[in-house]
Amino acid sequence: MALSFEGRVVLVTGAGGGLGREYALAFAERGASVVVNDLGGNAKGGGKSSAAADKVVEEIRAKGGKAVANYDSVEDGEKLIQSALKEFGRIDVVVNNAGILRDRSFARTSDLDWDLIHRIHLRGSFLVTRAAWDHMKKQKFGRIIMTTSAAGIYGNFGQSNYSAAKLGLLGLANTLAIEGSKHNIYCNTIAPVAGSRLTETVMPPDLVASLKPEYVAPLVLWLCHEQCQENGGLFEVGAGWVGKLRWERSQGQIMRQKSRPMTPEAVRDQWDKICDFTDATKPTTIQESLQAFVSVLSRVDAGGQVEAPPSAAAAATASGINPALAVGQKLPVSTFNFNHTQCILYALGVGMSTKDPDHLRFLYEGHPDFSCLPTFGVIPSQAAMMDGGLASIPGLNIDFTQVLHGEQYLEFYRPLPTSGTLTSEATIADVLDKGSGAVILLDVNTYSGGELICYNQFSVFVVGAGRFGGTRTSAKAKAPLPPPKRAPDAVVTDCTTRDQAALYRLSGDWNPLHIDPGFAAMGGFKAPILHGLCSFGFAARHVLKQFANNDPSRFKAIKVRFAKPVMPGQSLQTAMWKEGSRIHIECKVKETSDVVLSGAYVDLHQAAEASPEPPSQGGRLQSDLVFTEIGRRISEVGPELVKKVNAVFGWEITKEGKTAAQWTIDLKNGAGSLQKGPYGGKVDVTFTVADEDFMEVVQGKLNPQKAFFSGKLKVRGNIMLSQKLEVILKDYAKL
């Protein structure tokens, strides 16, 4: 299909002749409304006339096209854009083409020669483009062309002023490409070679005649079309040929060591290597460019060899991994405070939704069975380890742009509370040399009030940091297990969203790899990838729902290998095989069929093992939250709290559980009169009370009835029962 510019408004500066005229005619021929700008000056920047622009406008109109002339200098950028807006109501394309020459050898270049060239080429393009920018942003479309020159790219005798300004335009375009891309404003740069009044001074006449402007215009039109997604490119064009240019960087050479400074002599001695383009790299972004520097720093800090090859990959290979120093090291103990907010945020982060009524118990703190998803157990320790903890370990000088989550094991000894303070102690269990990378095994125990709640083994894969001469396997590693060789017993498909990583990271893994395109590029990814532990959470809850009736207390352990990255927005397909109490899992990305979680399994407790049936005596007040709180407080404060609880609430603790959730409390006085009412049997009421209010009640500072009436102590559940309770409490308060 022919490329049409119908409905588009194009401004071409310096369009009275040469290349500019050719662009204007070509755009108009394909339906664009064109502002033909030309000051009508001479090639050195002197004079002014409307003739050149008028002539081109006439030519366009004669062919049935739409055009208007503008005679302002590009230094009056706003006026040029106003012409477009006034005449055609919008501005879609700006072709910065206007230019002059004041060639002199460098020694003879005057201030005026320098300034005039910069004013017209660099400042003029800046002013015109800036005047168009906001309009393009608002309409979410814009295409900009900057015109550089071979003289800028390669240098040319007698054109120091012109070369400098022309290469300045490339720098301007590179940044506009970055700032504009999210608004669908693309900016590209061309270095045209064509016969024009600017080239006729430096080329023989027959060459000038044969390098026709019409051999350049098609590239400009393509770059300015809405179909073209090129942004930030640099093209040489002429004689009917188009080629793209890019930067190339030699492998270079590191010339210092931790204990030895860099010297000019070292630079001299390594000069051949510095300039050797064998295996050159082609950085395209500033982040890619910086990546090599990050690798160099970590290598030097690790005491890398002066003579070692300095490529990013090679630098990472010798990346200061020293198991002898690292293994057995402990990370600083970390403390994690949380309440239902973090539990709910995590559940949302791993894709839970109110669309599934079964998910409500993990999303609503007022739900009678409100619980924390078991895989939340990875969260308390991870944030602190990422946030500097790992970086503090001697012998682990790693490049954090190369860190991937390799595997994860999590095992529970007690159910996770829905609020409280958890402390975690992490130890470097082992460091393995996997060739293509180093694997760091971190064993972490997490405690609540002195009780061990869960154990995690984090396995961190540092890409490119292998081959340091370490062992490949470790008895300490929790091994992944392959699934049985038969059809799965269940398969669940679930979509992650485009913002899954943006949401998941709020639970504490702030690694920019999952949100920052520049950082992801440093790790070699086209776009930010999903957290491994997010997919892990998805798969775990698939098992929990399929085989454990969403009962978190049935969840004993989980092991997963992260085999391939997942991109936010992809669908996860979890295949499950039940083998006794072990559920093997394999998770694929549906769109690509790539296995992303391999060797994975979940171990479940038997139903009865984890959830002993509560005694069903009449009037037992069951409240997970209150039980959990009381149990937790008792384990923290000691048995004397039991007495206080009994005294203040008039309750009696009849069964002491091993875990907070297993405490059973019977009503006696006050609200205990419920036992005798028509509400005998199992009473389904949930009390919720904030930590600090609960403590105040227990300490006798806050009257429980007052707490109830002030709304601090909330009662949810059977409405009749709540009303009844309210009456009873009111009566009780009167006494």
Ligand X SMILES: CCCCCCC[C@@H](O)CC(=O)SCCNC(=O)CCNC(=O)[C@H](O)C(C)(C)COP(=O)(O)OP(=O)(O)OC[C@H]1O[C@@H](n2cnc3c(N)ncnc32)[C@H](O)[C@@H]1OP(=O)(O)O
Tokens of 697: 């009640």
Q: Which range touches ligand X (CB under 6 A), out of 305-313, 545-553, 560-568, 623-631?
A: 560-568
Distances (CA, A) of 52 to 48, 101, 145, 192, 292: 10, 18, 22, 21, 51
Structure tokens of 44?
């050195």
**Backbone torsions φ then ψ of 413, nearest 5 degrees:** -110, -25
Q: Is 527 exposed, middle or buried (0-12, 13-18, 19+ CB in 10 A)?
A: exposed
Q: Which of 103, 407, 624, 629 binds ligand X (CB under 6 A)?
A: 407
**Residue 180 or residue 470: which is nearer to ligand X going by CB?**
470
Helices and strands of the chain, counted as H and E runs: 26, 22
- Count of residues in contact with ligand X, rule CB under 6 A: 32
Rounded distance between C-alpha atoms, residue 295 and residue 319, angstroms: 8
Q: Which stretch binds ligand X (CB under 6 A): 80-88, 159-167, 402-410, 655-663?
A: 402-410
Q: Which of 99, 158, 406, 537 lies at the binding interface for ligand X (CB under 6 A)?
A: 406
Q: Does 649 bind ligand X (CB under 6 A)?
A: no
State the nearest-atom distance from the C-beta of 282 to ligand X, in Å: 22
251 within 8 A of 483, measured Cβ to Cβ: no
Residue number with CB closer to ligand X (146 or 348): 348
Using CB under 6 A as the binding rule, whether residue 508 contacts ligand X is answered as: no
| Distance in angstroms (rounded) separating the CA atoms of residues 677 and 111 | 100
Binding of residue 288 to ligand X (CB under 6 A): no
Minimum Å distance from CB 595 to ligand X? 10
| Binding of residue 403 to ligand X (CB under 6 A) | yes
Candidates 33-41, 307-315, 527-535, 660-668: pick the segment binding ligand X (CB under 6 A). 527-535
Among residues 23, 71, 162, 186, the one annotated as catalytic is 162
- Binding flag, residue 298, ligand X (CB under 6 A): no
From the list 23, 126, 562, 708, which residue makes contact with ligand X (rule: CB under 6 A)?
562
Q: Left (φ > 0), alpha (ψ -120 to 50) or beta: where does 206 sit?
A: alpha
Is 162 part of the annotated catalytic residue set? yes
CA dist., res. 569 & res. 505, Å (int): 15
Part in contact with ligand X (CB under 6 A); list of ranges 305-313, 347-355, 487-495, 559-567: 559-567
Residue 321 sits in the site that holds ligand X (CB under 6 A): no
- How many Å apart are CA 20 and CA 98, to the nearest integer? 8
Select the span of 54-62, 228-236, 294-302, 384-392 touching ligand X (CB under 6 A). 384-392
Decide if residue 399 touches ligand X (CB under 6 A).
no
Give yes or no for residue 433 binding ligand X (CB under 6 A). Answer: no
CB of 516 to ligand X, least distance (A): 12
Residue closest to 224 by CA, chosen among 15, 16, 24? 24
Beta pairing class for 334-338 and 713-717: unpaired
H helix runs in 16-123, sequence order: 18-29, 51-62, 77-88, 111-117
Residue identified by tokens 């930010």 is 528
**Among the listed residues 304, 303, 313, the one whose alpha carbon sits nearest the alpha carbon of residue 437:** 313
CB nearer to ligand X: pick between 382 and 418: 382
* Window of 33-41, 254-262, 414-422, 561-569 that interacts with ligand X by CB under 6 A: 561-569
Residues in 597-616 at the binding interface with ligand X, rule: CB under 6 A? none
User: Of these, 405, 414, 541, 633, which contacts ligand X (CB under 6 A)?
Assistant: 405
Structure tokens at 449: 């009030």
State which residue, 141 or 468, has the beta carbon closest to ligand X.
Answer: 468
Q: Do 331 and 393 touch, CB atoms closer than 8 A?
A: yes
Site for ligand X in 440-459 (CB under 6 A): 442, 458-459
- Confirm or reject binding of residue 588 to ligand X (CB under 6 A): no
Residue 8 found at the interface with ligand X (CB under 6 A) = no
Residue 38 and residue 16 in contact, taking contact as beta carbons nearer than 8 Å? yes
Structure tokens, 56? 């081109």
Q: Does 554 bind ligand X (CB under 6 A)?
A: no
By CB under 6 A, name the one of 326, 441, 460, 634 that touches ligand X. Answer: 460
Looking at residue 114, the DSSP 8-state letter turns out to be: H
Q: How far is the CB of 317 from ligand X (least distance, A)?
A: 12
**Dist. CA 164–CA 168, nearest whole Å:** 6
Under the criterion CB under 6 A, does residue 404 sit at the interface with ligand X? yes
Complex with ligand X: residue 122 or 463, whichever CB lies closer: 463
Q: How far is the CB of 402 from ligand X (least distance, A)?
A: 9
Question: Is residue 425 a contact residue for ligand X (CB under 6 A)?
Answer: no
How many Cα atoms occupy the beta-carbon half-sphere of 125 within 13 Å?
Answer: 28
Which CB sits closer to ligand X, 218 or 512?
Answer: 512
Q: 419 and 340 in contact (C-beta within 8 Å)? A: yes
Check: CB of residue 513 under 8 Å from CB of residue 519: yes
Binding track over 670-709 against ligand X, x by CB under 6 A: ----------------------------------------
Helix spans in 405-531 (H): 500-504, 517-522
Only one of the segments 33-41, 432-440, 612-620, 658-666 lies at the binding site for ligand X (rule: CB under 6 A); that segment is 432-440
Query: What's the number of CA atoms in the CB half-sphere (13 Å) around residue 95?
Result: 34
Instruction: List, by residue number, the catalytic residues.
Output: 162
Residue ranges in contact with ligand X by CB under 6 A: 382, 385-386, 390, 403-407, 434-437, 439, 442, 458-461, 463, 472, 509, 511, 513, 529, 531-532, 561-565
